[in-house]
Structure formats: C-alpha cells, structure tokens
Structure 1
C-alpha cells in the first residue's frame, strides 16, 4: 500500500543533480506518476534552470538548481536522493535522517557495514556510526523486505550490482568453490562521473580499452561483503575493472570452479527459479549471452550462463546500464518499494535499438 495520501504526489529532492546519476534521476522520474521533484541542487550550476544545462530535460525548464543548504531544503521534500561524491554524503544523510526524512544515498558512504573497512578503502573515517547502523543495502533482489521498512537506503554501486546478481544463485546453491572467484568487468566512461578528467576524455578513451584499479578498486569490499553474507563465510575475490570506449553499460564476466558435476541447462534452471519473480532480472536461454546494447537506458540486468565441463568452470556473464540498474534506476526501484508504489513504476522503458 502506498504511504502517500490519495492522489497526493511524493515530494522529492535530488541533491547533486548535475552529475550523470542526478541527471538520470531527473530523466527517469520525469515519467513517474507518483512523484513531484520539488528541489534539485548543484553548487556549480546554482541559479540555472535544469533545461538550460541539459536541453533534453525540457520538462524541467521551471526547475532551478540551488545550493545544497540542508536547512532550506528540509521542508521542500519528504524523500531525498543524494548523488554526492563519496565522503560528502555522510553529514547530509545524517542530517536528513535525523530530521525524519527518507533518504536514498547513491554514494558509497553507507554501503559498507564495517566502518573500518570503509576507512581502509576510502581513506576517510566514518563519523556517523549510529546512522550507518540504520542503513539498508539497496539491492531489492536480496533485501526487499528490509527496504520496505527502511528510512535510509545505501544504493549499491554499479560493478557490485552486476557481480552480486551474477554470482548470488551459484553461491546460495553451493555450485562453486567460493575461493576461486574471478570477476572481470568492463564499464562505459560515465562510470567515472561527470568531471574534467584527462583519463576519461574523448581522445584518451576513444579506440582504447584498458584495465584499471587492478586489485584496488573501491567496489571490491562491497562485492565481498554481500557475497560473504550469501555464503555464510568470508569471501575474497579477484576483481578487475576495465574502461570501455562507450558512454554507458557494464558487462561483467565471472569465473568460478564448480564444486559438483553439472551442466549448463541444470544451472540455468537454478538461476531462472531464483529470479523468476524479479521484474528486472532476465536470465537468458542457453546459448544466448548479454550485450550492453540490450539493456541501455533500462533497469534490467541480463544474465547468461555457460558450464565449461572440460575445465569444471562456471562462467556467468551479466549486463546492466551503469547509470540505471547500476545507479539511478535502482534508486527509483528502492523508492517504489519504500513508498509502497508499484515496483516497476517509472521503470518500464525498454532499450533503444539499434
């Protein structure tokens, strides 16, 4: 049941609305019948209309960016999406939660339940431990019942979403040796954010393809946290991300040694059974594998499976749009669950093709 009264729309604010994830929130929510965006912030673009900065968002020509003044924003919305840089969300999230607002945080500040792990990987102390304990990891396929009751959602990272959804059924069903997990991910350049950075400029990215953050990427502990919970024991993974010369999309290929003799058809049955009621996870038929083009602009995760019997290896391939299922679309899905809206509301668009 919806927590808003009758036909009253939910008042929503987006803090950090000029980056790629903030802009995607604006795009997705433009078609949401239960939501009204009442405020959007940007320090650099304060005073400009949304459509002046992003002409494709013409619907928001009367909505103006404003500075992130937490006190001024407090009465403007009932739910806050925070699309701020890592570290910057700690205080803002805490403020809105303490003032009884619902919050969906798209940064990493509240994803890791252990503050010492957060400090190790992000180089910052976590100063809001009481609020951290209230956060629910916002992967609906695992935590739907907790999300329904939550006031604070830590929206998962893009790489972790693709890896966790890909490996979860295999780990839950003890199909693989969890000490052998290799995760190889490729992401479009928007994963680096909307900023001036030579490494992700056109001439650096175009016609190139490279690995980065080998063994050190900050999404590693997030993946390990959730896979360890699924396995009931500590898991460590080898995770290597790559930069693709495309705007958006993540393709993740996962390798694991089988713990029992099986075949592709049998594993597919397990995956399809686990995800049969999930509106945004599509397990592809045998012999068909994901392509980022088929999920572009959507909230879907496509998963393909192959058992290589010659090497006793399970290979899983997943594809998501890093800005939608990997960020803003998943945030809207979490909002829908929190507020009692239909889960797919505002998220039913299909990919553009070609």
Structure 2
C-alpha cells in the first residue's frame, strides 16, 4: 500500500519515515516539504543515508503527485492541516492528521485556545479522535483521524479505567506533566535552544496550555460529565520522553491491589499498554508503548497515576501508524514492534 507524508521535514516526519520503512505492507510514495523540495531526504536526515534516497517534493501539484497514495499522513503544524484536509478527502484519500486541527469537537473552543480561525469546521463532526485503546471501532470506519496530542495521551489513558468505573472525584484531577525538548518541534526558539534548556527545569503554559481542552473533552466523554482539570506541563532537559503524574481523590472503598487489577483488566487486550510498578521514560524511548503505574496514598485517600511515553512515537508518529494499521485492516503492531532502547 502506498502512503505519503505531507510535512516530512520535522521530528514527527522523520519518525514516520523511520517506522514506515520497517512496515512490511507499506511503500512510502511521496514526502512533501516545500522548503526542502528537490533535496534528498537523506541530506536533511543523514541517518537515512543509503537507506532512503527519495527527494522531497513541493506543494504545487499535490492532486497529481499524491494520486497513487491511499493514505496521507499530515505532519504539519496546526492551521496548515485544515487547509489540506478538504482537498485530500475530495481526492478520496484517507487522512491521519498529527496536528491539533481536528481534535477539538467545538470549533469555537479550538479558536479560543489556538487563536486561529477554523476554515474546515464542516469536517470536525466527521473526524475521529485517534486514541486506539478507546476509539478503535470508530477508527476502523474513519477517513479522517485526528491523532491525539502527546500530553493528552498520557493523561487520558492514565485516567480511563478510574473514570469508566466512577472511582474518583472528577473535581479533584491534577496532572503534573513533563516533556523532553523535542516536543517543541524542530525549529529552534529562544526558549528551546541548548543553553536555555540544559541543566534547567521549568513549568510553562500554566493554566493556559492548548492541550487542556483536548484532555478535558475526552475525559468528559469517559465520565459522561463535564470535567475541568488542573494541568501544568514542564520542560525537562532531555531530547525525547514524557511522564505525567496524575492525582485524584478516591470516592470508593478500594485497595491498591484492586485498582491495579482493574487497570490490568481494562487494558488486557491492548498490546501497547503496560501496567508496571514504576514508570521510567527510558523504558519506552523509541517505542510505541505507554507504561502506567498506580499507587494509592492511604493517608490522603488519593490515587496517584504515573504514565510515560516517547512523545514522538506513542505521542505522535507511532500512534499515527497504529491508527493507520487499524484503518487499513492490518495487524495493529505492523511496523511498531519496537523495543525501547537501553541504556
């Protein structure tokens, strides 16, 4: 099956290429990057030298260039994706969008948090939120999948069993989340270059991070009630990896052992969810796994969930390929049988 990537020059683009090159049922057709057109992909990403020597193409004639590709991955920033989706769907393509443009159901909420006018709002109702562990059946039938954000993946999967069983006070949820610097993307900024991030640890987007409405939207669907949470992201001085520590008050008589068993049962058929005793980012680095640990603080009657992913893989490109596999009817692990690399 031929697939193409629009926006192939960023971190999520190179991660899509890395994984898809090992997918036994996929041929990468076109890699689109207007700023790099005519240049070999291996010139920009030298780890692909002698492995993948295609050239980037520009955006001027995509109706012709992408005609042979059945699936399109959009690895472009928010706002850019919504400009491509109408054209691609009209061409009969199936689209996995890694941006935020189709994750939020209500365009007014999107516009409030992203400060952009949504120019393809007519497709919001059709778009399926691509969290496979919760929306697999809808993903199977979708032609437009909105790939989740990295922070939301850790929080939603971290809380899903508790919310589904109504075990926590939904008014007490706090997520304290940390991300490696690659989460900010490839383009260097005044706050993400080496001398600013090295040996530094900071909170950012306090009470204002754009992933907040996405998290609240999906948690509310699980709880069948409106949920508002406290979400604070942090930047840590490492390249890739993400860990969330999520707090909530328990409202039922449960032991820690019973809650751990609940998680194991809830995710028993999920190949990419591992229930562990202690989560560490190094154990998921380079893989599509999410590791989740659960502890009950009896003194405060508070449940503490920790979850870790590789923010570029399960938090972006790996999850996009997991969604692609579901849409295409492939085994969900095709191309994704990736073991976290140690040390």
User: Aligning the two structures, in what range does the TM-score lie when normalised by the shorter sequence?
Assistant: over 0.9
Structure-to-structure mapping, 1:217-232, within 5 angstroms: 217-232=209-224
Which shows bigger deviation, 62-71 or 78-87? 62-71
The separation in 2 between residues aligned to 1:138 and 1:16, in whole angstroms, is 19
Task: Classify the secondary structure of the residue corresponding to 2:191.
Answer: helix
Alignment of 1:13-32 (within 5 A): 13-32=4-23
**Structure 1 counterpart of 2:129:** 137
Structure 2 counterpart of 1:250: 242
Pick one of 284, 308, 328 that aligns with 1:295. Answer: 284
Match among 12, 15, 18 for residue 3 of structure 2: 12
Structure 2 residue aligned with 1:4: none
Specify the alignment match of 1:353 in structure 2. 342
- Encode CA deviations 1:306-328: one digit per residue, 9 max, x unaligned: 00011010000000000000000
Map 1:66-77; keep pairs closer than 5 Å. Answer: 66-69=57-60, 70-77=62-69
C-alpha distance in 1 between matches for 2:120 and 2:237: 38
Deviations 1:98-155 (A, max 9, x none): 2210000000000001111101101112221222221100000010001011101000
Contact kept, 8 Å, 1:253 with 1:315, in 2: the verdict is yes
1:201 is matched with which residue: 193, 207, 211? 193
Residue 5 of structure 1: aligned partner: none
Could you list the runs of 4 or more consecutive aligned residues of structure 1 that deviate by over 3 angstroms after TM superposition? none
Matched, 1:99 2:91: yes
Matched-pair contact (CA < 8 Å) for 1:86–1:108: yes
Following TM superposition, by how much is the alpha carbon of 1:73 offset from its aligned partner in structure 2, in angstroms?
Answer: 2.8
Q: How many Å separate the matches in 2 of 1:20 and 1:339? A: 24
- Write the distance in 2 (CA, Å) between the matches of 1:61 and 1:221: 38
Q: 1:61: how far off? A: 3.9
Q: How far does the alpha carbon of each residue in 1:3-38 deviate from its partner, in whole angstroms, 9 at most, with x for none?
A: xxxxxxx11110000100001000010100100011
> Matched residues in 1 for 2:192 and 2:155: separation?
23
Residues paired across the two proteins, number: 342
Corresponding residue SS for 1:17: coil
Equivalent position of 1:318 in the other structure: 307
Cα distance in 2 between the residues matched to 1:25 and 1:68: 19
Correspondences of 1:98-177 after superposition (within 5 Å)? 98-177=90-169
In structure 1, how many angstroms separate the alpha carbons of the residues matched to 2:56 and 2:256? 51
Q: What is aligned with 1:214?
A: 206
Partner of 2:31: 40
- SS of the counterpart of 1:47? coil
TM-score computed with the length of structure 1 as normaliser: 0.95
Q: 1:304: which partner in 2?
A: 293
The alignment partner of 1:199 has SS state of coil
Q: Which residue of 2 aligns with 1:189?
A: 181
Mark the CA change 1:59 to 1:82 in structure 2 (over 3 Å): closer, same or farther: farther
Counterpart contact for 1:329–1:347, Cα < 8 Å: yes
Alpha-carbon separation, structure 1, partners of 2:78 and 2:285: 25
Could you tell me which residue of structure 2 aligns to residue 267 of structure 1?
A: 259
Deviations 1:33-76 (A, max 9, x none): 10001100112211111111111123554310111233233314
Question: Following the alignment from structure 2 to structure 1, what is the Cα–Cα distance between the partners of residues 188 and 244?
Answer: 26
